[in-house]
Amino acid sequence: MLKALGESPSFGGQNYLAVKLLLALGVRKGELLKATWQEFDLEGRTDACPVWQLSGNRTKTGEPLTIP
């Protein structure tokens, strides 16, 4: 699928990257689109690796998520 999307001239580079992120992170489209830089710990200060802290008020289930 990724190969076909990457070769499609009408799909676009930003859409291709968004699909890759959605598949890699396993989050919903709305969660990814509404992400803010403040939610990301790219230095890995809160865990053993860089994480995305998604608060419960932004998830469908209402539970907070820590996404590596």
68 contact partners, CB below 8 Å, separation of at least 6: 47, 49, 50, 51, 52
Alpha-carbon distance of 7 to 35, in angstroms, equals 28
pLDDT tens digits for 21-47? 899 888 888 888 899 999 988 887 766
Q: How many folded domains does the chain comprise?
A: 1
**Domain boundaries, position 6:** 2-67
Q: What per-residue confidence (pLDDT) applies to 50?
A: 85
pTM: 0.68
Alpha-carbon distance of 55 to 46, in angstroms, equals 14
Q: If we measure between CA atoms, which residue out of 47, 46, 63, 51 comes closest to residue 25? A: 51
Alpha-carbon distance of 59 to 3, in angstroms, equals 30
